[in-house]
Chains A and B, each alone.
Chain A
């Protein structure tokens, strides 16, 4: 059992949790993830590590309520326990070889990006950041990130904060305007990572994306998380989650993400009040 020692709601349906997990914190690195389970009958879901402290023994996660499990997780509060919390999983991000990096975070994708920005900033890398979301409420961790980057740009779909439009508009503007980056790291929805990668391919800037496919064990055993990268099948849990954005087959990844859409709908109906299921 893993105790929740802090919980905050960052945006409507988006929550931050600090979890007591000393063994996970002991070896966690930026870019890695955990797998958790809320209830005995619960599903195992992967969530990226947003921050960690080895000496205090905690790990933070930031998640959006998108399905049944994230909904159940959101119901837990400070002092409650998460049943299972296993990790750190996946390979740590390779961050130590760049001199000037542009990080692009979309929605909750900002959460896993934050420890990477922090790590690079502390190592002396110059980091510029673009954050994007549908509206200002969904721009996460802007204050924290501002403290550890050179310049922060913001884009919202509705223009309620920063540029009205997409992160790719800002990316294009920066690079066309003469800014030079030796690497781009993009984490966010698959459509965003796909669009960013298409653009950086044109600009010939190497780009890393972080994949978060459906998985069960997270240790390489099930193969459910397979991603096609450069024509080869890779396992996001042991080979990733970071991959070369110019080589990832995003269309396939988007399709695979939809595998249980029908079941999600069915389970939602079953759990509606009056349907004999659990009330959400």
Chain B
């Protein structure tokens, strides 16, 4: 068998067309394309790709099933470790994880694992019947706080272990960042809803409009009979730059801008009642995936010009290469080595941005070369909207209402990394609430580890109780 070193390309919407709509950009593989790509896999005896996956999907095994046309078996193999294949296939940074480890990437392009995962996952989206049925209920209740990737994963695994799982969501709709953050053109919301309905079929109960830390506290949950609590409440308060002009009208945090558009469907205003400003010339500050999402949304809402303003160079940019490529194709302008120092206003509204040029100096603690200001390089550019996408700091709602929950220096919840156990008995945490902004799959990995740890702990307790009762009976 000859080895092909190039990935089977995936069809995408034409950039000139897609910049005007919110439909999905990447169109997925056809059966033939999927088979061609699956056929490239060398079926390594010691697959490096599996180790590169935060939830250790058995990649060669599912690809092998795929090549044989055994789609259901392929799906079940993925589903054993990953409950959200259609989502991960779309939003995971595979190039940094499984695909980076692929032996083929040494000489050419690694297997398009994400695209294959998406192909397999999408084929079973409409299957309401869960692939791996849950064990019969063991009568113990576990609470999951937050319904983003960490919470959904923990909930699914715990349900499969036989726990009665209730997921508490502050918003009116479950899904967390998958619903409010990642735009439709990257992750269709219908798909997220289907994945959630599968969890419901597994017996997971979702309670929306409940803000843990406000409506109920973590202690309330423990008192209400939940044997354990998993906190996956996600990233918190949006960070601002702390420069003059940030409270001018027309300045958004990326969180607010994206939530208005994705969750509240402001792109469909006035049919949808939530408005969002439509900038003509928009500056998005930051270089991560969230910045790319915000910039591409602004374009789709009719902006004539959208700039990404980033203080380092393209090389240091944290966004996925594919997102940067897609943004570029759509006409987003990248102003790199540029740092905003003031948002300029007129009559209370944004009218421009004052920036300085930067150059790269010595590497900083993150290992990236530190941007240094070039003296006297200030310049002004006209903008009528500024979106700040420089990350978030931890949300205080849960930690403030749970005094015995220890936090890190940065305000994240302190956990034992292997288990997700916090300083408080019976309480576990994972995802952005612990790490600060990270990826969907990392949050899922944390949810998985915590679910297993909770299961171990509660089973242990059950065993001890059983033994005690047995002794008492003697």
The residues of A with any CB-CB pair to B shorter than 8 Å are: 23-24, 26-27, 37, 39, 41-44, 68-69, 83-89, 216-224, 226, 228, 233, 235, 238, 252, 255-256, 258-260, 263-264, 266-267, 270-271, 277
Contacts and interface: CB of A to CB of B under 8 A. Distances in A.
A223 B247 contact: no
B237 interface: yes
B270 A271 contact: yes
A255 B247 CA distance: 10
A118 to B, nearest CB: 22
B391 to A, nearest CB: 12
Interface in B7-65: none
Interface of B: 170-172, 208-211, 214-217, 236-238, 240, 242, 246-247, 249, 252-253, 255-256, 259-260, 264-265, 268-275, 277, 348, 395-397
Given A217-B170, A221-B259, A263-B269, A84 B208 contact: yes
10 contacts: A68-B273, A83-B172, A84-B172, A221-B255, A223-B256, A259-B249, A260-B275, A263-B269, A267-B273, A270-B270
A265 to B, nearest CB: 11
Nearest to A27: B215
Contacts of B274: 43-44, 216
A228 B214 contact: no
Given A43-B264, A43-B273, A86-B211, A223 B172 contact: no
Contacts of B255: 221-223
Given A68-B273, A216-B274, 13 more contacts: A23-B210, A42-B273, A44-B274, A86-B209, A89-B214, A217-B171, A219-B214, A220-B396, A221-B236, A223-B255, A238-B395, A238-B396, A252-B247
A220 B397 contact: yes
B263 to A, nearest CB: 8
Contact of A87 (B214, B253, B264): B214
Given A220-B397, A235-B237, A89 B259 contact: no
Nearest to A263: B275
A82 B237 CA distance: 28
A271 B259 CA distance: 24
B265 A41 contact: yes
Given A87-B214, A233-B240, A277-B270, A256 B249 contact: yes
A238 B324 CA distance: 34
B210 A224 contact: no
A279 to B, nearest CB: 14
Given A37-B172, A68-B273, A86-B172, A223 B253 contact: yes
A69 B272 CA distance: 11
B216 A27 contact: yes
A219 B211 contact: yes
Contact of B395 (A39, A86, A219, A224): A219
